[in-house]
């Protein structure tokens, strides 16, 4: 090992390591590490890679079901979807980089999650995203929205994977920390899944893809700290993406995966070559020797430290069967991608790097992984919210409806999703704008439904209810199109876990999520945690974004929210108690954020959802929308606008009825001839149901009051976001 | 009928058009790698959509210089039908098989939406299954789709019935008929041009994606007529 100066306490702290953590490193090594070794420990033990604050709680989430092929721990979750096919999916955050450099941050977020999915043998078939920005009034918001949306689109469009849906929220709590959560769903043969455990002593370790440059060094460490005034200086830690190379990499990897050359494969994501090598070695219980000088490099003079910590994009690491190198190289040559044998699998259990034969680091693999810190961070339970103070309607209901539909929370997101190619691959059945997107399972008449959701204001008021609600709403979104919900991925975005209040939000959300997952048979199969989303002590709203998938057995039978016929009866399914606490109505029209969020009754949720799904599956119902933000009147208006058919609504003259956000509710539109029978079936299933309106005409009318034309409603609904962005 | 789809690095609608064409033809469709210098006998060559060579330099510019393009240009000269969709249209312009240019969208953003296009010449191998003036609803998805040509070229295109499709409103509306009342012309193309022919009507380039409106599952099948027209004309 070359002589190097001693590690100073300042270096330890610059690497985000505590004194205790450094002492553990000294123990593991039995000597002082050199700088490269310190760097390797620091990224492996960063919050981002080690989950040191969250691990304890993540273990409490249910991860199993008969249809789960692979749960958390691999690059992505794998679920059996029948007919010998598997869906592989995951959601991941790219929050910190996207705030610093929105276009590249968002683009590489998409690139990273795509790699997690095709690494496992799947062709990516759909992207989704969940974006959260600061208040519209914040001077940075427009620039961030424009950059993130262009980045998401720029990457996904170029690789040719449709972006089929997502969500966009605004709240002042995200002013200093936006959230960019990207999800990819892929399709694979259930018996052709690729894993990351290295095996076969002496087998070649192969590097493919782009060359390694100096970009993204310390990205994982940056993503594990709060922001301050020096945040701008962190721009060099943001990686630069090249979706063209990613597209070539997908095709080359899938071509190679059709042969029997690959023993193990892992993408290089956070902490790059370090994390991928260590994870592959650890999972296989083997060692890995790397010849760092063999790593394809974009620039001359890179140190081993830089090569090992670079987060350059579009790179993969593989262990090949002996003798498969030439055939594999031919494939990567065809796609004009770098291919280099950079090391061997060993039986030493050590992770050793050499430059021109000279050892530059030597770390035992097991303790590098096993002895990573795990913290039981102190936490305090979030106090129960005060009861809701009385609410007086500030304006007529129809006026309120118009204000909500034309406001930042509920206005149309068309400006966003028209920048995403949603129909490439020619399998998109339901495009953005519905409750869940639907893509056809290639070559079949079956479909996958995909939804993402989370209501952070509920999570802030009551983390437990909010966590449960996020899971329940995704389940409901999938149900509303008729799909059988299968599993979720989670992307847990929170503030600084070293604050007991923030940790309390995290714990509460996890507990609520776990409860909902168990009650709904909806396990977590993959996920990601993003902590330290905080600037100057101002944390984001607790945001456990949930992405879920479900299966549709027959694409002839799914439901859509757009009204299809005149003279349909509009049926409200589920119980309406008129819950106004934490609603959009309260927040936007009364500037109030008080009261508890709507309670989630999981048994009711399940009973109601199963009832609705059975009606769609047997062909009785083809028009359905779940009730969420904004409640009944907003949902009805969305159905009318989407179908360009009007609605006459009738019900109590109470804002809580029209704008309450009670859970486990759906609106169905059915022909008059079967409305009575549907209501009877509901009664038999112990599901409350009532008629609240009739379809027809070109306007929305409430209790025979003055109508609003759909044209007028749509104009205000469609205008807000483009108008806002045009003033950039 | 025999059809061949050229695959460039970064093509991403190659499989989509292959499947849609195979459905119309009722038989297999050849895929030809861009690096090939020879091509088997074929009745139709398709340059698919996507981001060939990552749109680097200029959309379609590098692909137009791929080895296989020499062969494509030569076959086009012999009268073999050539269809370029989206990025394929851009490549046809860069290869000189069609006149004009495709600029950044007037709205400056990528745009993916369903648009209406009117069939302006139904007497061609690409459009014989449509009525003259028929309005089709087909998606576009592009960043650089604003067609531009100088006045002389435009006059020539009009005079020789070389404008294949124009973006249009429906039911007398000037908008695209979508719920947001967005303009009929999604990208600012001159004279609302969505696609053009060569003088012999054997080469067509268009921005909309017929292969994404070719199956009931897409929510519409208006694009299938274009592929069926080719089968009628070339079989």
Task: Indicate which of B10, B24, B35 best probes the interface with A, i.e. most A CBs within 10 Å of its own CB.
Answer: B10
Both tokens of A605, joined, read 């949720």
| Rounded distance between C-alpha atoms, residue A258 and residue A328, angstroms | 11
**Which chain A residue has the Cα nearest residue B177?**
A644
At residue A216 the predicted structure's pLDDT band, cuts being 50, 70 and 90, is: confident
Q: How far apart are CA A422 and CA A432, in angstroms?
A: 8
* Mean pLDDT value of segment A560-588: 97
| Structural tokens at position B173 | 């509306």
Nearest CB to A153: which of B13, B56, B110? B110
Q: Which of B112, B179, B217 sits opposite A429 (nearest CB)?
A: B217
Q: What span, in angstroms and rounded, lies between the C-alpha atoms of A514 and A508? A: 10
Q: Are A638 and A629 in contact (CB under 8 A)?
A: no
Query: Based on the structure, what is the number of domains in chain B?
Result: 1
Range A537-556 average pLDDT: 97
- Name residues whose C-beta falls within 8 Å of residue A73's C-beta, 6 or more positions apart in sequence: none
Tokens of A59: 């273990």
A397 catalytic? Reply is: no
Tokens 């030493």 correspond to what residue?
Answer: A348
Residue of chain A minimizing CA distance to B15: A425
Question: What residues contact A261, with CB distance under 8 A and at least 6 apart?
Answer: A320, A321, A324, A327, A328
pLDDT one-digit tens code per residue, A310-325: 989 999 999 999 999 9
CB of A98 less than 8 A from some CB of B: no
pLDDT, residue A5, reads: 73
Assess whether pLDDT exceeds 80 at residue B220.
yes
The pLDDT of residue A117 is above 70: yes
Domain containing residue B130: 3-234
Angle at A352 between CA A40 and CA A23, to 5 degrees: 45
Match 């404008």 to its residue by tokens.
B163
Confidence (pLDDT) at A510: 98
DSSP assignment of A515-540 equals HHHHHTT--EEEEEEE---EETTEEP
Chain B hits for A723, CB-CB cut-off 8 Å, are: none
Are A244 and B9 an interchain contact pair (Cβ–Cβ within 8 Å)?
Answer: yes
- For the cut 70, the answer to whether the pLDDT of residue A55 exceeds it is yes
Cα three-residue angle A702-A708-A710, rounded to 5 degrees: 115
Strand partners, A594: none
Asked if A128 contacts A417 with a C-beta cutoff of 8 angstroms, the reply is no
Residue of B nearest to A420 (CA): B112
3-state secondary structure of A315: strand
CB contacts of A715 in chain B (<8 Å) are 181
The model's pLDDT over A89-112, given as tens digits with 9 standing for 90+, comes to 999 999 999 999 999 999 999 999
The residue in chain A having the minimum alpha-carbon distance to the alpha carbon of residue B181 is A715
Spell out which residues of chain B touch residue A446, defining contact as CB-CB under 8 Å.
none
β-strands B81-85, B44-47 pairing = parallel
Q: Could you tell me where the beta strands, DSSP code E, fall in B120-202?
A: 135-142, 146-148, 163-167, 193-197
**CB–CB of B113 and A555 under 8 A?**
no
User: Which single residue is written with the structure tokens 């260590």?
Assistant: A278
Distance from CA of B98 to the nearest CA of A (A): 24
Give the per-residue pLDDT at A214.
87
CB of B205 closer than 8 Å to CB of B84? yes
Mutate which of B5, B7, B9, B171 to disrupt the A interface (most A C-beta within 10 Å)? Answer: B9
Q: Which of B34, B142, B209, B218 is catalytic?
A: B209
Contact B217 A153 (CB under 8 A): no
Integer CA distances (angstroms), A526 to A45, A62, A479, A523, B17, in order? 20, 11, 21, 9, 34
B110 and A248 within 8 Å at the Cβ level: the answer is: no
Do B111 and A418 count as a contact with CB atoms less than 8 A apart?
A: yes
CB A452 within 8 A of CB A183: yes
Instruction: Write out chain B residues lying below 8 Å of A420, CB-based.
Output: 110, 112
The DSSP result for A151-184, as a single string, is HHHHHHHHHT--EEEEEEEE-GGGSS--EEEEEE
- What residue in A sits closest to B138 (Cα-Cα)? A423
Q: Is B216 within 8 Å of chain A by CB?
A: no
Axis-axis angle for helices A35-44, A19-29 (nearest 10): 120
Look at B16 and A424 and tell me if their CB atoms are within 8 Å: yes
Residue among A279, A366, A277, A275 nearest A73 (CA): A279
Q: Which of A244, A250, A434, A711 to mutate to test the interface with B (most CBs of B within 10 A)?
A: A244
A vs B, Cβ pairs < 8 A, gives 98
Q: CA of B199, closest CA in chain A: separation in Å? A: 30
Average pLDDT, chain A: 95
Coil/strand/helix, residue A719: helix
List for chain B the helix, strand, coil content (%; round to 5).
Answer: 30, 25, 45
Per the CB < 8 A criterion, the answer to whether A454 and A505 are in contact is: no
Q: How many CB atoms lie within 10 A of CB A716?
A: 18
> Residue A727 and residue B12: Cα distance in Å, rounded?
34
Task: Tell me which residue in A244, A644, A715 faces B51 most closely, judged by beta carbons.
Answer: A244
Any B CB within 8 A of A228 CB: no
**pLDDT of A668 above 80:** yes
Q: Band the pLDDT of A233: cuts 50, 70, 90.
A: low
Amino acid A1: pLDDT: 62
User: Is pLDDT of A241 > 80?
Assistant: yes
Provide CB contacts within 8 A for A355, sequence distance 6+.
Answer: A291, A292, A293, A304
Beta-strand runs (E) in chain B: 3-7, 30-33, 44-47, 81-85, 101-103, 111-119, 135-142, 146-148, 163-167, 193-197, 203-206
B177 in contact with chain A, both atoms CB, cutoff 8 A = no
First to last CA, chain A: 55
Tell me if chain A has a CB within 8 Å of the CB of B211: yes
Task: Using an 8 Å CB-CB cutoff, list chain B residues near A714.
Answer: 179-181
pLDDT at A328 over 90: yes
Residue of A nearest to B216 (CA): A429
Nearest residue in chain B measured CA to CA from A158: B51
pLDDT in tens, A295-312: 999 999 999 999 999 989
Cα separation, B229 vs A56, in Å, equals: 63
Residue A556 dihedral angles phi and psi, to the nearest 5°: -75, -20
Q: Is the dihedral of CA A602, A606, A607, A611 positive or negative?
A: positive
How many other C-beta atoms can be found within 10 angstroms of the C-beta atom of residue A60?
A: 11
Sign of the alpha-carbon torsion through B234, B207, A122, A250: positive
Contacts of B150 (CB under 8 A, 6+ apart): none
Is B211 in Cβ contact with A426 (below 8 Å)?
yes
Q: Does residue A270 surpass a pLDDT of 90?
A: no
Classify burial at B170, counting beta carbons within 10 Å of its beta carbon; exposed 0-12, middle 13-18, buried 19 or more.
middle
Interface contact A26, partner B, CB < 8 A? no
CB B117 within 8 A of CB B165: yes
Q: What's the number of CA atoms in the CB half-sphere (13 Å) around residue B153?
A: 14
| Res A256 pLDDT > 90 | yes
Query: Can you give the pLDDT at residue B183?
Result: 85
- Show the CA angle centred on residue B82, arms to residues B77 and B88, nearest 5°: 120
Tokens of A198: 């290295």
**Contacts B110 to A, Cβ<8 Å:** 150, 153-154, 157, 418-421
Cβ A157–B110 below 8 Å, yes or no? yes
Interface check A248 vs B, CB under 8 A:
yes
Whole-angstrom distance, CA of residue A295 vs CA of residue A246: 18
Burial (CB < 10 A; 0-12, 13-18, 19+), residue A11, is middle
pLDDT above 70 covers a percentage of chain B that reads 95
For B1-62, strand residue ranges (E) read 3-7, 30-33, 44-47
Look at the block and give the residue holding tokens 């969505």.
Answer: B194
Please check the confidence at residue A728 and state whether its pLDDT lies above 60. no
pLDDT band at B110 (very low <50, low <70, confident <90, very high): very high
- Considering the candidates B13, B86, B94, B114, report the single residue annotated as catalytic: B86
Q: Which residue in A has a C-alpha nearest to residue B14's C-alpha? A: A425
A421 in contact with chain B, both atoms CB, cutoff 8 A: yes
CA distance B17 to chain A (A): 9
Cα distance from B45 to chain A (closest Cα, Å)? 20
pLDDT at B74: 98
A106, A114, A150, A157: best to mutate for the B interface, most B CBs within 10 A? A157
* Chain B partners within 8 Å of A159 (Cβ): 12
Instruction: Provide the Cα torsion A403, A409, A413, A419; round to 10°.
Output: 130
Kindly state the average pLDDT of the residues A515-529: 97
Please state, in angstroms and rounded to a whole number, the distance separating the CA atoms of residues A663 and A597.
10
CATH of the domain at B158: 3.40.50.880
Whether A48 is catalytic: yes
With the C-alpha atoms ordered A413, A414, A417, A419, is the resulting torsion angle positive or negative? negative
Residue (of A190, A318, A309, A344) closest to A262 by Cα position: A318
- Rounded to whole angstroms, how far apart are CA atoms A717 and A639? 13
Looking at CA atoms only, how far is residue B214 from chain A in angstroms? 9
Q: B12 to chain A: which residues are within 8 Å by CB?
A: 158-160, 247, 424
pLDDT band at A2 (very low <50, low <70, confident <90, very high): low
Contact B54 A242 (CB under 8 A): yes
In the predicted model, is pLDDT for residue A217 greater than 90? no
Q: CA-CA distance, B140 to A245, in Å (whole number)?
A: 24
C-alpha to C-alpha distance for A388 and A673, rounded to whole angstroms? 41
Note whether B110 contacts A420, CB cutoff 8 Å: yes
Contact B12 A427 (CB under 8 A): no
Whether residue A236 has pLDDT greater than 80: no
């Amino acid at each position: 090992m070359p002589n190097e100066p001693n590690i100073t306490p300042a270096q330890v702290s610059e690497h985000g390591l505590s004194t205790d953590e450094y002492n553990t490193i000294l123990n593991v090594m039995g000597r002082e590490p050199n700088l490269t070794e310190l760097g390797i420990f620091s990224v492996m033990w960063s919050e981002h890679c080690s989950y040191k604050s969250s691990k304890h709680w993540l273990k409490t989430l249910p991860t199993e079901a008969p249809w789960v092929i692979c749960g958390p721990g691999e690059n992505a979750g794998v679920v059996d979807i029948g007919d010998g096919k598997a869906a592989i999916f995951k959601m991941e955050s790219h929050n910190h980089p996207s705030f610093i450099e929105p276009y590249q941050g968002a683009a590489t977020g998409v690139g990273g999650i795509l790699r997690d999915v095709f690494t496992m043998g799947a062709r990516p078939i759909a992207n989704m995203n969940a974006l959260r920005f600061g208040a519209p009034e914040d001077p940075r918001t427009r620039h961030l929205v424009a950059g993130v949306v262009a980045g998401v689109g720029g990457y996904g469009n170029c690789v040719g994977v449709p972006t089929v849906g997502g969500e966009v929220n605004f709240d002042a709590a995200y002013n200093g920390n936006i959230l960019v959560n990207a999800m990819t769903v892929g399709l694979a043969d259930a018996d052709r899944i690729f894993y990351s455990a290295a095996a076969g002593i002496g087998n070649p370790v192969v590097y493919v893809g782009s060359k390694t440059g100096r970009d993204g060094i310390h990205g994982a460490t940056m993503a594990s700290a709060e922001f301050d005034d020096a945040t701008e200086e962190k721009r060099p830690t943001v990686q630069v993406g090249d979706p063209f190379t990613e597209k070539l990499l997908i095709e080359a990897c899938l071509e190679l995966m059709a042969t029997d050359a690959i023993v193990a494969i892992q993408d290089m994501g956070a902490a790059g070559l370090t994390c991928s090598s260590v994870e592959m070695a650890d999972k296989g219980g083997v060692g890995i020797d790397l010849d760092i000088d063999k790593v394809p490099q974009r620039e001359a003079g890179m140190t081993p430290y830089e090569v090992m910590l670079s987060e350059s994009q579009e790179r993969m690491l593989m262990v090949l069967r002996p003798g498969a190198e030439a055939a594999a190289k031919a494939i990567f040559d065809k796609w004009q991608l770098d291919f280099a044998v950079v090391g061997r699998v060993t039986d030493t259990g050590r992770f050793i790097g050499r430059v021109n034969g000279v050892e530059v680091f030597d770390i035992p693999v097991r303790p590098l992984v096993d002895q990573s810190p795990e913290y039981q961070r102190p936490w305090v339970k979030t106090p129960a919210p005060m009861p809701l103070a009385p609410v007086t309607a500030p304006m007529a209901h129809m006026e309120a409806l118009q204000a909500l539909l034309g406001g930042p929370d509920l206005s149309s997101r068309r400006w966003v999703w028209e920048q995403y190619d949603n129909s490439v691959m020619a399998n998109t059945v339901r495009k953005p704008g519905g409750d869940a997107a639907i893509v056809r399972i290639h070559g079949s008449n079956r479909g996958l439904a995909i939804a993402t959701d989370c209501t952070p204001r509920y999570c802030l008021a009551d983390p437990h209810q909010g966590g449960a609600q996020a899971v329940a709403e995704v389940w409901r979104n999938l149900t509303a199109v008729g799909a059988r919900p299968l599993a979720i991925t989670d992307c847990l975005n929170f503030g600084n876990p070293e604050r007991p209040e923030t940790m309390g939000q995290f714990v509460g959300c996890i507990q609520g999520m776990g409860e909902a997952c168990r009650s709904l048979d909806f396990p977590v199969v993959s996920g990601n945690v993003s902590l330290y989303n905080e600037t100057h002590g101002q944390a984001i709203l607790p945001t456990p974004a949930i992405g879920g998938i479900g299966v549709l057995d027959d694409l002839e039978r799914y439901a859509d929210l757009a009204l299809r016929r005149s003279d349909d009866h509009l049926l409200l399914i589920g119980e309406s108690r008129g819950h106004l606490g934490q609603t959009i109505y309260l927040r936007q029209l009364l500037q109030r954020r008080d009261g508890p969020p709507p309670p989630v009754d999981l048994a009711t949720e399940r009973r109601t959802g199963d009832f609705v799904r059975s009606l769609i599956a047997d062909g009785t119902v083809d028009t359905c929308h779940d009730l969420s933000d904004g409640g009944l009147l907003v949902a009805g208006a969305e159905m009318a606008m989407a179908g360009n058919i009007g609605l006459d609504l009738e019900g109590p003259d109470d804002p809580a009825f029209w704008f309450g956000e009670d859970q486990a509710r759906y609106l169905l539109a059915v022909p008059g001839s079967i409305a009575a029978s549907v209501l009877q079936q509901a009664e038999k299933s112990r599901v409350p149901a009532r008629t609240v309106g009739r379809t027809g005409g070109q306007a929305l009318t409430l209790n025979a009051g003055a109508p609003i034309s759909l044209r007028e409603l749509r104009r205000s609904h469609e205008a807000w976001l483009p108008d806002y962005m045009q003033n950039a | 009928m025999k059809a061949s789809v050229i695959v460039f690095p970064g093509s991403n609608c190659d499989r989509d058009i292959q499947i849609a064409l195979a459905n119309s033809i009722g038989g297999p469709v050849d895929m030809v790698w861009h690096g090939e210098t020879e091509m088997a006998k074929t009745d139709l060559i398709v340059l698919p959509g996507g981001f060939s060579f990552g749109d680097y330099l200029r959309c379609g510019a590098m692909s137009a210089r791929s080895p296989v393009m020499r062969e494509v240009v030569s076959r086009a000269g012999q009268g073999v039908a050539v269809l370029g969709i989206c990025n394929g249209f851009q490549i046809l312009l860069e290869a000189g098989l069609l006149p004009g240019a495709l600029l950044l969208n007037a709205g400056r953003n990528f745009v993916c939406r369903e648009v209406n296009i009117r069939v302006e010449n139904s007497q061609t191998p690409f459009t014989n299954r449509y009525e003259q003036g028929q309005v089709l609803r087909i998606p576009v998805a592009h960043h650089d789709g604003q067609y531009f040509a100088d006045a002389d070229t435009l006059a020539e295109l009009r005079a020789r019935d070389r404008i294949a499709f124009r973006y249009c409103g429906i039911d007398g509306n000037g908008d695209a008929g979508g719920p947001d009342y967005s303009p009929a012309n999604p990208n600012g193309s001159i004279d609302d041009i969505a696609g053009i022919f060569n003088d012999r009507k054997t080469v067509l380039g268009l921005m909309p994606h017929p292969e994404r409106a070719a199956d009931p599952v897409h929510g519409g099948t208006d694009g299938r007529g274009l592929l069926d027209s080719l089968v009628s004309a070339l079989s």
